[in-house]
Structure 1
Amino acid sequence: MTSSGVPWRYRYQYLAGGVNTGGGWETWNSPSGAFATLYMNDSDTHGYIPVFTYYELLQSSPSTGADELSRDYSNLNNAGTMKAYYTNFALLMTKAKSFGKPVVVHVEPDLFGYMEHKAAGGDASKVSASVASSGYAGFTGLPNTVQGFAWGLLSLRDAIAPNVILGTHASTWASGVDIGMNTDPTFNMAADADKVAAFLGSAGVSANTHAGTFDLVFNDVSDNDAGINGRWWDRTDTSLPDFQQWLTWMTELRAKTARPLVEWQVPVGNQYFDTMNQSSGHSQDNRAEYFLSHASGLQAAGIIAVLFGSGGNGGSTYTDAAGDGVTNPAPVSTFQCNLCNNHASAWSDDDGGYLRIFVGNYYTGTPATAPDPPTNVTAIAGEASATLSWKAPFSDGGSVITSYTVASSPATAPVTTPASARSATVTGLVDGTSYTFTITADNAVGPSQPSSASNAVVPGRGAYQALTPARIMDTRLGTGGVPKAPIGPGQTLNVKIAGQGLVPATGAIAVVVNVTATDATAPSFLTVWPSGVPRPLASNLNWVRGQTVPNLVEVALGSNGFVSIYNAAGSVDVIFDVAGYVATPTATPPVAGLYNPIVPNRVLDTRIGIGSPKAQLCAGQTISVHITGTPNIPSSGVSAVVLNVTATNTVVAPSFLTVFPTGSVRPLTSNLNFHPGQTVANRVIVKVGTGGSVSFYDAKGHTDVVADVAGWFTDGTTSAGGSLFLGVTPARILDTRSTTSVGPGSTRVLTVAGRGGLPAMGDAVPPTAVVLNVTVTNPTANSFLTVWPDGSTRPLTSDLNYRPGLTVPNLVVVRVGGSGAIDLYNAAGSADVIVDVVGWYG
């Protein structure tokens, strides 16, 4: 490739041999999997993007059956084979992650076409496959279907190697009609492509409840040169089969899958050189000639790349694979010979000489084209705005990208960003109105086609809807449709929130969940953020090995109602208990679910008899605490309250605390987890129950409980006003590790307005309260941290409790002072404080 002088963009290689045969790609170099690393590095050295065609299933053992469909299907349903398959695919992802640059992986050509035959009109969820039943760690919650198979591969890509661009395969014969040989002029190409697109959509192209979706759709025109298999297409497009009907099919496939297309393994044979004499290794074909002279037609159909290569079985290759040095035999002219094989050879491998000349001419003599469209466009709503994120196009069209342009529907003024940008904010939107967005990439030639539309978002602030707590996800049990397995080091798990635990399937923009990390094997941290946007530099939970740590998380929902969880190190089980959600904004402001922040006030302290008798909670005991009517909390019209709950002086046994509405059945959830000798705090947003009270349950041992109320939500029965919530992608606004720690008895003033996605105090809608994840690390003494509105007297409450050697996080919902700032007080010793903003009320 390099000696040809052609500026090739991509270089592809089969990974084959079977996953359990002892001769697969992982054995081609030592140590296991080194071949992939060598290939990626070598490709990168020469300026090529590496492409792997992962073709392992058919060649794996036992592969029983009379035809390829039967052999693929038998392996798909063999638990041992599939466990080895997933392990092998994960190895490839691990090597790709280490490479760290874009890698294209093309999954199993032919397989999805065969499985569409097997489905007989159904979708991929109707065809069996061993996924969860394979016993592969992390796949417990996946369905045992071809759909689950595709979802599993995508989850491995997402968890291990997000730099991998993953492609599925669309076979032109998948519907049962081989459109590559169709001679019926009345045949409906678009309807046929729709069938194939629908099946692929059910197999990881349109949606995936466990991870992302496929980025590309591959297609091949023929297994070999037309001179071998007789699959000639009319280069003049006047008689069938021709190129135009195939382009019609591909255009519809692009429209219905909304994915860029890659034309793969295009035969190398040509009708230009007289070496193409129809002997083995020197077969004729006309597709390379047609494609290079109709590049604009391919681009219009949504094809972003053409990969040339031999399908084997005696086909022409780019080099003189036959080793016969054939140069000038008598010319052979067959089937519409365009250039009649009458050009003398210049090299002994003139089978590939045609590409050497004419692809080189294409790059040097043909003007660059517009780039491909951007991909993975995701929107997150803001106040009268939306923030978009995206991935760069697969190809820049041969000319460097100069900018991106964001367009909205309904239309507003377009937003243009520099070429380095991967996000943009669109302002001037109408709150309560649904919008989608498309993005074009621009180069010197012009704009790309618009990207696929983003997820729909409704700008504005929403009202909080409190729920009775419910467990919606537990990796220990596979609850919530997630794999029954801990989250491994550096892995990301996507969790469906919409439609779970009384959270509506539509109509929610954010969720409040109590997140618990347990069974950790190493010190680590957890980040929770809206799915579909880049992982932020933020954290929600921190722990050491063996700890069980909870923290309340309020997070905006991302694509398709999902949130993403990232674990930094070791493995850890994660539990989600939902406490409420924020409703989609409406044009008419609601009267219920409005937030009213207050300066924190202590409503419970069992150590001194505030809110309850002066006595510890005992094992299995529940106490009810009256909340309404306490200072700054009205006696009626309250739907829920924001508490900071602390367990301290615990003796006898490790335990957990559950906080729930008085009068309702105690849910099977937890809010705090603690051991004897610990003082543990956690934020709780809880619905108010009978008599305006909230109940506290202690599972084991004896413990003191302290609760400080920081605000309340309206229930719509009174005329009380309040603020609405808007989540943001988490952003770090303070980290004293890079400046100066907070000393003993000292207060740090932190401006929050106008930072981390929050509006300024002078904006049309300033923040009244801010939602933060506050983390204390490197403390030198037993101490506590208090957070309160700047300009107010420091209250006799606490938000975090810590001792030397610990890193402790807690969610804080605090009123913003008139200056746009909050205050943070550290009681003793010195401590570093980290603040990540996750949302605001206004």
Structure 2
Amino acid sequence: MSGTAAVALGVLAALGLQGVSTGAVAAEARTAAVAPAAPQARTGGTGTYTAGARADGPVRSEVHKLALTADGRRKATLSRRTTEPFGLLGVSWPDAGAAIKGTIEARTRSAETGAWSDWITLEPYAPGLDGVRPAERGSTEPVWVGRSNGAEVRVSDGASAGVLPAGLRLDMVDPDLDAGTSASGAGASGTSASGTAAAGSDVAGVEPAVFSAATGTSATGTSATGTSAAAREAAEIEPGPPSTVPQPPVVTRAEWGADESLDDEGPIYLEKGVIKAVFVHHTTDADYNCADSAAIVRAIHVYHVKTNGWRDLGYNFLVDKCGTIFEGRQGGIDQPVMGAHTYGFNSESTSVAIIGDYTNTAASSAALEATARVAAYKLGQYGGNPAGTTSLVAGATQTNYAGQAFVAGQSYTFNQISGHRDGFNTECPGAKLYPQLPAIRTLAAGPVQNLKVSSVGGGAFAVDAGYETPGPVSVNWSTSTPSSLISKFELLADGRPVATTAPAARTAATTLTVPGIHKLAVKAYHQSGATTTTAAVNVNVPAPKTFVPVTPQRVMDTRSGLGVPKAKVGAKGVVTLQVTGTAGVPATGVGAVVLNVTATAPTELSYVSVYPNGTTRTSASNLNVVEGLTVPNLVIVPVVNGKVDFYNNAGTVDLVADITGYFSTTGEGSTHVNLGPERVMDTRSGLGVPKAKVGAKGVVTLQVAGANGVPAENVTAVVLNVTATNVTDLTYVSVYPDGTTRTSASNLNVVEGQVAPNLVIVPVVNGKVSFYNNAGSLDLVADITGYFTSGGEGASHINLGPKRVMDTRSGLGVPKAKVGPAGVVTLQVAGVNGVPATGVTAVVLNVTATDPTALSYVSVYPDGTTRTSASNLNVVAGQTVPNLVIVPVVNGKVSFYNNAGSVDLVADITGYFRK
């Protein structure tokens, strides 16, 4: 490595960006020109880097200089005047060793508004900040004031007995050569609006030297490290050591428009070539637009070289409040470049300056994140630990801000990420930023902070203190650590990785195939290698369930107080029914129950949802009712805590529930076999039963076993879609096992002239089922969709949802459009919404037809098959009708047919059958 590293004592006490000037405020509204092509992708969050950075080379900034008028002893002034355009200012004098013990103040006029700022106090630099420099001048810190064209300065030596230094002048940096002349018409001659020439031989408007192509823009071969390949080769500079963490995006000197002709001495590298600490600084004003950040960096660079006489910009890196990182002192982003930032400790450290004043305001999260990334990268090159400590040898005898004394040549312990004040007597990096250093250390060192599981979904639903899923599950999480500091996440199932995601991801999914309780957690990998794992959540995969039929019987009636309190269910009201341990249902081992639910005497347009107790109700609904109408619907609902909940959305309604069976997790029940859909009974034509209406108190009996594809033996229950039509009176229909005593349970409730379907799962006794009509006369139609067998050849039931999977009104699952006459829409059910991609024989859907425009019927049938005459819903114009459907799955899809008019269709899934 070339370059001899001297023990540099340089320091930047606190670069000024002080005072809330109107020029700075106006800069917020200024639209800046775009930087060269490379940096446009790294805008820092609020806009382009700044005005002036050009594709054909650096921005050759100007320094306008105006002499102050002194009284020869204690006061010097610059009267209020129009000036050349500028954005940063400071006061300087020839003798670097001369001190001003009084006050130095300036104020500026905004080029946009013409308003003058408040007085800004300028703090003097100590001499020798960048080592021994023959051309060094005494000066104040520079102050960014935004686009300005007027200035006024006053200097007072206060109560001291000394005199002010000779040759005081105001230095104004215009970081944009193309900004044009001032309103007064002054040009490159350096004459101010008052007609007085600027003090000094190098008056405003002097052109810089020709830009060196060896250190030019990216077009000349600048590497990612900020130094061109040619320059690195000429200087025999090897690439810096690799870091344990990624290098963050950095706006290189070429990209922010550094005028490299100012820096003809070349960089100095640390003598031992090892960075042991990072010192954090601020530049003392938070009121700036991030679009001006590159201009601020250019202005500081020019001021340090042209005014202070330093070899280069003092800081190694600068960060703006939007999180954009800028390369500071030249020599290579990946190199241990000697900076001029922390007096006495430069020879073993690097620096990051956060642009802004953090005396009264804390630094932004974006700035802290960017600072952490730079610090972690630089320390990672040398085996450092951002959360650790190190030993630094003092290069000067001095005292820091806290009063700790340092003696040159002795070693002292520092945090590897320290503040400027830890090494020097300065308030920098500010009273509000200094307490944020621990946060920077944590961000840089890890682990990932505040990592927690926020929700579980993807087919899983909350049960007790955990979740239940038929297999598919997604886990969502949150963290306060920015993604840029994270390497990856892993989803763990029972301690083993089952999915890996990118740093920005906050969700991962998997499918659990083994029944039982699984522990899911998220493991985060910080870029430092530190890991964090969330607390595990319990996710249960229940064993497949088999069906156990029970004699249909009433288990809930809000009119009489059966099962629940005697009272209508009000708007947003919920009633909870205990289903296990009653009505032939065992106390344990029950995964779901089959209920025929009826809503009666509703007072308003509403819907009813039936869902597992203790879970969050979804948008799925089971019944849609209108005032005065009685509506039944079959429900297969998972059981949690032995209970199910019933929700009414609006008005008041009475609810009735009749149980026809349950799904057991113990394996003693029957499995499901698809069949049809096929019409097996029609009293209008004499199909399956005599051709005749069923009269009042009339019963017809249908042979189901040994007919229509149903086996003669081992059939425990059949699944029928039963429709009542040609109704002459208010009545109800009950479907029950042949040879048994009919209970009060009902399946359909109809009024004169109504056509009403409902799904029925009815136990089979003697191979038959019976149909009872209470009043008047009606025709009955039955379509079979499957049966349950004790032979073991069928499929088991898996709970899922309830969850909305299709809605033609919104385009969910199918195109957004009503289904027209003879129209068909096809829904993908396998491999989505928690349903496995393979092995699914049938799905359980609650299908709702709404906003029909004509008398019609809807059929739900397996995709790719010929639709039969069977129907599932019968609708009339303006009516909303729901019905449960157990439909076979072919090609992973099911189809929905509408016969006449147009209608919107909605489908909610409640489970599926799988072999």
Give the TM-score, by structure 2 length. Answer: 0.46
- Structure 1 length normalisation: TM-score? 0.49
- The structure, 1 or 2, with the larger RCO (C-alpha pairs under 8 Å, 6+ apart) is 2
Q: Would you tell me which structure has more helix in proportion to its own residues? A: 1
- Structure with higher Rg: it is 2
